[in-house]
Amino acid sequence: MDRCILVINCGSSSLKMAIFSSKCEFIASAIAERLGQPGASASVKGRRTEVTLPQHATHADALSALIECFHENNTITNGLLAIGHRVVHGGETFSQPALIDDTVIESIRACENLAPLHNPVGLAGIEATRSLFPDVPQIAVFDTAFHQSLPPVAYLYALPRYLYMEHGVRRYGFHGTSHRFMLTEAARILQKHEADTSIISAHLGNGCSVTAIRNGKSVDTSMGLTPLEGLVMGTRSGDVDPGLFDYLRRKGFSAETVHNILNQESGLLGLSGITNDMRTLIEQADDGSEAAQQALDVFCFRLARYIGAMMASLEQLDALVFTGGIGENSERVRARTLDHLLLLGFKIDTPANRVHGDASGGHIEATASRFPILVIPTNEELVIAQAALKGAKNVHD
């Protein structure tokens, strides 16, 4: 067996890992969830191997445990060709994947204040694997890179220009690897060339974003300078009135406290007071929780508003695409969101929506729908593996 490619995707509370062949063919995957919380768990998909994590396990804990499991299963016995890391924020420093060295690590660390929930855990994964595999080329793949095609009308804030020119204050966008994959898969399903494909891609997980892709290029997106802007998310507030900061400061809240509230105590968790997990939230709503129902309603309404807003950046729309853990698996969220978009001509096929469009090539729209509606499982790991392979070849060449 040839050497493999290891892909590491550190989310704010999760860790996904995948092994690919030297031809970027999928071999195995693993996931750890609820990291940093009680009840953290990990599993290797397709195996009955038990992976034990300590209480409040960190990303580094989960990474070490899962790599050990891969070794025990003889998945990476012949060594690694490359390691690809998802890194959320590259600022304006990175517009392409980068071979990781000390300089790149310091540049990623310099962006930590722009992605406080993600860049630190991404660096933890990088540092752990550099220690375990010091001789393997490691490639950073940035969520912000796909959105470098945003036009000034979409990325500039209405602020004094020096804040952008001197401090890089602008909209960057995130979930780029996922939105990039949605473009590829939607074009395939619609039998179009990517350069002729225009979609609205809704990536919905613990973090959420919507992107308008026009003729194969990202031209608008809901996240901004940081992953805090835009939609309601698991623990992040999404859009709030900027005056909130001054208001809370006058009430005695410190800047750090406000930061923590907006990033870690808001979103679905803050609205419901129960959980940031959509599955649990829906169960609680069905059991009669008014707070859970309101959190679900606000989530779907804000999502619908952003989908409508993205149409202003398009000249045509070939499909609306749902992806991510919530987007792929929650028929309730898709249906409730599209209920708000009937005026725009979106109409859902209820039976197809219940089975995620599996029986119809991803399509869940009704015959009378003005636009196709697709459910496409994301595969950020494949995009990262392809970039890692390319980076490794450049090193060896």
Tokens at 268, concatenated: 């679905």
Tell me how far the alpha carbon of residue 256 is from its chain's centroid.
25
Among 114, 164, 145, 115, CA closest to 218: 145
Q: Report which DSSP code applies to 367.
A: T
Is 156 in contact with 170 (CB distance < 8 Å)?
yes
Is 50 in contact with 23 (CB distance < 8 Å)?
no
Q: Give the Cα separation of 98 and 119 in Å (integer).
A: 15
Which residues share a beta bridge with 7?
A: 18, 84
Q: Give the Cα separation of 361 and 19 in Å (integer).
A: 26
Q: Give one DSSP letter per residue of 154-199, joined into a string.
A: HH--SS-HHHHHHH--S-----HHHHHHHHHHHHHHHT--GGG--E
Specify the pairing of strand 138-142 against strand 208-214.
Answer: unpaired
Residue type for 212, please?
Answer: A
CB neighbours of residue 243 within 10 Å: 8
Q: Give the Cα separation of 177 and 209 in Å (integer).
A: 12
* Catalytic annotation, pick one of 143, 220, 277, 318: 143
Q: What residues have CB less than 8 Å from 287, skipping those under 6 apart? A: none
Among 233, 189, 240, 209, CA closest to 322: 209
What is the CB-side half-sphere exposure of residue 385 using CA atoms within 13 A?
24
What is the CB-side half-sphere exposure of residue 175 using CA atoms within 13 A?
32
Q: Is 143 a residue of the active site?
A: yes
Is 379 in contact with 86 (CB distance < 8 Å)?
no
H-state helical runs in the chain: 59-72, 102-110, 119-132, 152-155, 161-167, 176-190, 243-250, 255-264, 267-272, 278-286, 290-310, 324-329, 331-339, 350-354, 380-396
Residues recognised as catalytic: 143
